């Protein structure tokens, strides 16, 4: 009798995200008998997630079974796939610290989970825990594939490949397919008729082509239509979040000739052009949502209270297909049926104009052999140049983690485009001091710094 896969979730207390992935998985015949091993350090969230999984199994009438674990290594034992989704330090205290401390220096952010001083700090907090998962995987499930959904994605992927190159891993994000759906919507076209090719780094990949299939089977370039729609005020259309019009990305399209895959609120803080002290006109013109991520966190925490109760009392939990790649990858590896996804992997020459060791986001073929990145070649020079400004920060953060050299944390902040555009060197040094002190024990021991008024 054929064996069923074992799928381990580390950070299973991210219940809504976990529900989407498990819902996708259980709807695939090849995976419907899986053992779902849930692991989290929060017993209440773990229990809530187990309730949800068991109700999904009952609703779909499949043979899967759920386990709960507080011990990470036991949860990982014998796993075929390891889904990682956690946030070290949570909204409070760590996200609040990442926003409030820089604000004292006049440095304002929108999301702060990928780049900038917020992204650097999140990387320092997160990577040691990912490395611990890698250690445990090598001990109890060395052939498993890690599907990593944690930010800062590029820093994490780079740091894992640097320290544990033998781990089979892919960093996953839904911005490529999600943005393509938005572009189709902006042009009133069915998403199914759109063809695209994207490449770059996570949250700064660009569509090298976006095309619409014609009745005769040929394809038409959509870039002229997108630029025209923006200039005529027909695009972007209002999206799911009224605080975040999509103007930054469209403006950058008119300057670079290509559309970026990650949202305008993210992109505004990866570049030095949009958030500037004394320039409220830019914030107004492009609709830049400062402090957006804390607002979302508060809304999500509030929404979860009602959601948890609803799940607890529901007899059935209906599931729709999500746009995440996880179940597609698992199905292809398990059955050999090929699929193509966009994944974050060690570059290894896929994009020839970026460093070999950086984390690149490229199309990947998935089959029984695993996740196989495809060759892209050289990117347009203006895109390469912009990505390098972000890669500098990622590289120095990874170097700090690998060498346990605190100086490189300051160097990473120095190189950040937004931080460098707003603060001088003394301010950057002082800000990093304050962030390291404020985060305290959330950071690895080598990175910690006592507050200025504490004894050395």
DSSP β-ladder status, 145-148 and 35-39: unpaired
What residues does 286 pair with on adjacent strands?
none
Are 418 and 116 a contacting pair, CB within 8 Å?
yes
Q: Which residues, in sequence order, are bridge partners of residue 366? A: 339, 371
Phi-psi region of 61 (alpha: psi -120 to 50; beta: other; left: phi over 0): left
Kind of pairing between the strands at 204-213 and 219-221: antiparallel
Which of 402, 319, 336 has its CA nearest to residue 370?
336
Q: Is 174 a catalytic residue?
A: yes
Q: How far is CA 364 from CA 6, 24, 318, 358, 373, in A?
A: 23, 20, 31, 16, 4
Q: Which residue has the tokens 């690998």?
A: 402
Give the integer Cα–Cα distance in Å for 428 and 445. Answer: 21
Residues 129, 174, 418, 439: which is the catalytic one?
174
Task: Give the length of the chain.
Answer: 456
How far apart CA 299 and CA 204 sit, in angstroms, is 26
Which residues form the catalytic set? 174
């Amino acid at each position: 009798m054929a064996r069923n896969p074992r799928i381990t979730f580390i950070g299973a207390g991210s219940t809504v995200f976990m529900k989407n992935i498990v819902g996708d998985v259980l709807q695939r015949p090849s995976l419907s008998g899986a053992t779902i091993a849930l692991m989290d350090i929060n017993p209440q969230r773990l229990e809530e997630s187990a309730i949800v999984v068991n109700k999904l199994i009952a609703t779909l009438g499949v043979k899967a079974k759920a386990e709960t674990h507080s011990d990470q290594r036991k949860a990982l034992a014998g796993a075929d796939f390891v889904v990682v989704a956690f946030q070290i330090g949570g909204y409070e205290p760590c996200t609040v610290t990442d926003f409030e401390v820089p604000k004292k220096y006049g440095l304002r952010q929108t999301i702060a989970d990928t780049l900038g001083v917020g992204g650097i700090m999140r990387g320092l907090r997160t990577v040691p825990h990912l490395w611990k998962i890698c250690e445990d995987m090598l001990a109890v499930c060395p052939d498993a594939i890690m599907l990593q959904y944690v930010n800062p994605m590029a820093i994490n992927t780079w740091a894992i490949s640097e320290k544990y190159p033998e781990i089979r891993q892919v960093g996953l994000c839904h911005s490529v397919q999600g943005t393509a759906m938005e572009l189709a919507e902006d042009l009133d076209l069915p998403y199914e008729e759109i063809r695209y090719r994207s490449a770059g780094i996570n949250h700064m990949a660009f569509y090298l082509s976006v095309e619409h299939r014609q009745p005769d089977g040929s394809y038409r370039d959509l870039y002229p239509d997108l630029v025209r729609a923006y200039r005529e005020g027909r695009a972007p259309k209002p999206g799911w979040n009224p605080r975040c019009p999509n103007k930054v990305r469209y403006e950058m399209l008119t300057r670079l000739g290509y559309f970026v895959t990650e949202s305008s609120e993210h992109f505004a803080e990866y570049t030095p052009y949009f958030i500037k002290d004394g320039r409220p006109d830019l914030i107004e013109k492009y609709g830049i949502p400062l402090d957006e991520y804390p607002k979302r966190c508060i809304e999500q925490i509030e929404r979860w209270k009602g959601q948890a109760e609803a799940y607890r009392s529901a007899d059935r939990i209906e599931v729709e297909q999500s746009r995440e790649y996880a179940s597609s990858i698992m199905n292809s590896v398990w059955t050999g049926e090929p699929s193509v996804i966009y994944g974050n992997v060690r570059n290894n020459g896929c994009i020839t104009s970026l460093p070999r060791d950086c984390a690149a986001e490229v199309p990947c073929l998935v089959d029984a052999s695993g996740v196989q990145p495809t060759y892209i070649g050289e990117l347009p020079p203006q895109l390469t140049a912009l990505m390098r400004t972000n890669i500098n920060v990622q590289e120095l953060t990874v170097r700090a983690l690998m060498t346990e050299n605190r100086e490189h944390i300051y160097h990473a902040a120095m190189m950040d485009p937004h931080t460098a555009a707003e603060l001088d060197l003394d301010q950057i040094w002082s800000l990093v001091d304050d962030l390291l002190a404020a985060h305290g024990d959330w950071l690895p021991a080598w990175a910690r710094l006592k507050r200025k008024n504490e004894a050395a």
